[in-house]
Structure 1
Amino acid sequence: MTTLQIILIALFIYLGSIGSIVGNTIGWYTLGRPLVAAFIVGLIMQDVQSAMIVGIALQIMYMGNVTPGGAVAWDLSYATYIGTAGALVFGKGLDSTELIGMAVIFAGIGGLVGQLMWNVSYALNLPLNRIAQKYAAQGETRKMWIPNVALAQTIGFLCRVVPALIVLTSMTAASQQADFASLIPGWVTTALGIFGGMMAALGMGIILSFLWKKQYQIVIFLAGFILVTYFELSMMAVAVIGVIIAVLYFYGFSNTENREGIKS
């Protein structure tokens, strides 16, 4: 990676975090999503196709990521941006499964660093409450932006950009050594790729558990699965068929209710 690419990825790691300067809607809920983050990294590193292969897997894996009781899980922004960048740097020539496995390795590193920096950020933000309380007690409301915006954003920026620069720079330096990639056995990346697929299946299972309201609806899912797997139809074709069936079902159900209403 070039210096400019490292700086841009580190900057988006900050922008995609909770409470960044662009707000949570644009930041955490948009730039912080794995699919969007992978696309941005792909644009920066000029390999969108490989980045999207990784991004789709990480996005589905994130759906299976549950934080019970408000527990702090892996840092999504750190994990996705660093994971995708690591896969593109070290995953040249690998197949999709191994590429995803490589992304899982670096996503774990990024998530661990991000989780650590979240705790550091929380600790550094504690004194800001006293500063804000002091201004509030003195009635100096015009100075409230200093602890709440200026100092808070500075802490957030430093806690995310600086460690990201260190990690990405270290990755770049390691990638320049020809024998570094050989230190990671092929079975490790393959196993992690399979594990990523299991997490993806878990994520889809969680989504389907919310979508299935009645037991017979599993038949609809299996019908779509058969059309894609055995009849080799594209996702767009299956979606069109699903829309047609939904429209026919809706109007058929509505006409049945109308006829019963007239009879009664």
Structure 2
Amino acid sequence: MYMEWWQILVLTLYSGWVIFDDLGVYSGLNIPVAAGFITGLVMGDIGTGLLIGGSMQLMVLGIGTPGGASKIDAQSGAILGTAFAVSLNMNSSQALATIAVPVAALMVYTDILGRMSNTFFAHKIDSMVEKHNYKGIEGWFLAGVGAWTLSRMVPIFLALTFGSGVVEALVNVLNGGLKWLGDGLTLAGGALPAVGFAILLRFLPAKKHIAYLIIGFTLTTLLSTVFMNIQAVGGSIQDYAGAPLNGLPMLGIALLGGALAYINFKQNSTTQSTATQTMTAENTSTNFDDDFEGEIEDDEY
């Protein structure tokens, strides 16, 4: 199926909202998994959207932007990857490797363009500040926001409007004469979330909290095995129970992880509270001694 005009319009507007949200609204709709979900909702396949958006989310877990640095635009990659995967009936992992990741990398250049364009608006705001023109400050500020949102909206609109033919031809090649390459890209797409975990572990204090890592991997194995067996049993009694018992190993892991995090938080809070009370007592004692240093007592007259 091909995309309708209203789908292109909604996804284009949403791509502009993503960067606007990321600049200061922080509604939670500006992350890759949300981009995949909303795109899947618009395209009529939420499952594919969550799979591609979640994979992009996992891939950028350990990526940060210190200062004004640019990073790969995983949100735009999730939007285009999901849109083309649904409209052209592509394999999700293949769409992730051939569309979502390359688009996310290429959109770094539009991000830089958006940042550079704001230099002009920043100088205009400076001139308005000197003139005490507050309306002018607001106007040029909004113009800068508009330029940054256009850095996403324009390429997304062009890709959705004119890119279907190119992507369809690419899919035909990857599933035809170059099927070996298509299979390799599908495998690579499935492995990409592991790259995000590797980057994240590289920057987290993993050595300091190695015990939590061991517990996490152990729980993953145990709960996956237990719930897999429960799901198998549930499937066999579906006709009697009315619905199969679904396996939710990640929910159990998340709950246990949340409990451990809460315990660690309470311990740190108690330690910090004790340290603060000790420092306060020491400062009070020191100030008391300073107040009376050099003072003449009654028996010294």
Band the TM-score falls in, shorter-chain normalisation: 0.7 to 0.9
- Cα distance between partner residues in 1 of 2:43 and 2:186: 22
Contact 1:75 1:112 in 2 (8 A): yes
- Cα distance between partner residues in 1 of 2:122 and 2:57: 35
Deviation track 1:210-230 (CA, whole Å, cap 9, x = no partner) reads 375443334312321321444
2:249 corresponds to: 235
1:226 corresponds to: 221
Q: Does 222-231 or 44-53 show the bigger shift? A: 222-231
- Report the identity percentage: 20
2:172 corresponds to: 182
Change (3 A) 1:69 1:186: farther
How many residues end up aligned between the 2 structures?
238
- Cα distance between partner residues in 1 of 2:139 and 2:188: 46
Amino acid aligned to 1:220: I
Greater RCO structure (CA 8 Å; 6+ sep): 1
Which of 44, 47, 63 is 1:46 aligned to?
A: 44
The 5 A counterparts of 1:76-95 are 76-92=74-90, 94=91
Contact 1:86 1:102 in 2 (8 A): yes
Q: CA deviation at 1:60?
A: 1.0
Q: CA deviation at 1:45?
A: 0.3
- Cα distance between partner residues in 1 of 2:34 and 2:115: 26
- Cα distance between partner residues in 2 of 1:240 and 1:146: 45
- Cα distance between partner residues in 1 of 2:62 and 2:187: 15
Which of 160, 163, 173 is 1:168 aligned to?
A: 160
The 5 A counterparts of 1:1-264 are 1-17=3-19, 20=20, 23-26=23-26, 30-65=28-63, 71-92=69-90, 94=91, 99-149=92-142, 151-174=143-166, 181-184=171-174, 185-207=178-200, 210=204, 212=206, 213-231=208-226, 232=228, 234-235=248-249, 238-239=252-253, 242=256
Contact 1:64 1:202 in 2 (8 A): no
- Cα distance between partner residues in 2 of 1:65 and 1:244: 23
Contact 2:77 2:103 in 1 (8 A): yes
Q: Does 136-145 or 233-242 show the bigger shift? A: 233-242
Q: CA deviation at 1:73?
A: 2.6
Contact 1:90 1:102 in 2 (8 A): no
Contact 1:12 1:31 in 2 (8 A): no
Change (3 A) 1:71 1:190: farther
Q: CA deviation at 1:204?
A: 2.7
Q: CA deviation at 1:207?
A: 4.5
2:242 corresponds to: none
Q: CA deviation at 1:82?
A: 1.3
Contact 1:72 1:115 in 2 (8 A): yes
Change (3 A) 1:67 1:126: closer
Contact 1:35 1:52 in 2 (8 A): yes
Query: Which consecutive residues of structure 1, in runs of 5 or more, have no partner in the other structure?
Result: 254-264
Amino acid aligned to 2:210: Q
Query: Which consecutive residues of structure 2, in runs of 5 or more, have no partner in the other structure?
Result: 229-246, 268-301
Deviation track 1:63-87 (CA, whole Å, cap 9, x = no partner) reads 1445578643312222221122122
- Cα distance between partner residues in 2 of 1:44 and 1:109: 22
Contact 1:57 1:100 in 2 (8 A): no
RMSD of equivalent CA atoms: 3.3
Change (3 A) 1:156 1:52: same
Contact 2:74 2:101 in 1 (8 A): no
Amino acid aligned to 2:14: F
